[in-house]
Amino acid sequence: MTGYVISGKISQVNHILNRKIEKQTDLQPQEVKELVAPLFDVVQRLTYDVTEIVLDKPGIKLNFESQFE
């Protein structure tokens, strides 16, 4: 199979109650993963569905890599 690269930037706004967070480092890595997981699930599903239709074969599964790891 030919390799594909899908790249881009995504962002989201989270409202955290009873806690002041000014920058990403105010959160533990596990907390960040929990917050972004639903967004990544949507991107994963959309990418799989669209590539399945376009390529007329099973869609492409994403492998997310963080620039902070």
- Residue 66 in any domain: the answer is no
**Which range of residues forms the domain containing residue 49?**
28-55
Mean pLDDT per 10-residue interval, the chain, length 69 residues: 71 87 88 88 90 90 67
Backbone angles phi, psi at 21, to 5 degrees: -125, 120
Contact 62, 47 (CB under 8 A): yes
pTM of the predicted structure, to 2 decimals: 0.67
How far, in Å, CA of 69 to CA of 67, rounded?
6
CA 21, CA 25: separation in Å to the nearest integer? Answer: 9
pLDDT at 62: 82
Domain annotation covers residue 38: yes
The domain tally of the chain equals 1
